[in-house]
Amino acid sequence: MKKQNGIHSLERDIESLIWETVKERESKCKEACSLEKDLLHLILEVYCRCCLLVPLLLALHPEWQSRVRAEAAEVCGDCLRDADSITLLKTVTMVVQEALRLYPPAAFVSREALDEIQLGNVTIPKGVCLWTLIPTLHRDTEIWGSDANEFKPERFSEGVSKACKYPQAYIPFGVGPRLCLGRNLAMVQLKVVLTLIISKFTFSLSPKYRHCPAYRMIVEPGNGVHILIKNI
């Protein structure tokens, strides 16, 4: 229990630091018309595309859109006041986690065997490059159940550890020493942007939308996301 409390405390500290960084970046953007694209800017740019996929899924599932909006109104009111507000967004977190399961930012993870290794009953020779297709792993029915292809945020109601048979199979930001640098930043950003949007607008899918996920360096909408937005 003490170890678990320590982990939660560190996560809160990280989210607070990220919040301060994002607010500082926002302030700088107001002071200048254009800024050079530093690492933070590039990370934010990539995960803005992920945010499009979240409104897409909520447009397809209005019942979850309503649940997220209700939570945002209860926790935040008119605005997100501080980092502590983000940790209270349980429904938003579930929705984001499920969106990242169905459409993970990274399409694959590759690793080279530096020595001959044994994985189960398979021998991997030295020098062989192993590729793990994350979208395939995230939709494996043996790991996630028969509803693996369905949008069901409730599977994360008790966290990642209880969401599937093997929690190590959930790797939207990669795994191991090359875990995505912007993981925590991306999660905070997605929650903030989603909460701000959904508190002011309702959205539904446009008849012009054609579902076409593109597996490039990251997974993104191949033909963009067409959503009809209305003021609340």
pLDDT in tens, 5-64: 665 666 666 666 655 666 665 566 555 545 555 555 555 555 556 677 888 899 999 999
Q: Is residue 47 part of a domain?
A: no
CATH number at residue 80: 1.10.630.10
- Cβ-contact 124, 113 below 8 angstroms: yes
Q: Extract the tokens encoding 80.
A: 């997100």
pTM score, whole prediction: 0.76
Those residues with Cβ within 8 angstroms of residue 59's Cβ, 6 or more apart along the chain or in another chain: 65, 203, 204, 205, 227
Residue-level pLDDT at 140: 96
Q: Is residue 174 part of a domain?
A: yes
Q: Is residue 152 part of a domain?
A: yes
Q: How many domains does the chain have?
A: 1
Distance CA 228, CA 224 (A): 13
Q: Is residue 142 part of a domain?
A: yes
> Which residues of the chain fall short of a pLDDT of 70?
1-50, 78-83, 215-219
Residue-level pLDDT at 1: 57
Q: Supply the range of the domain harboring residue 227.
A: 2-30+55-231
- Cβ-contact 102, 65 below 8 angstroms: no
Residue-level pLDDT at 111: 87
180 is in an annotated binding site: yes
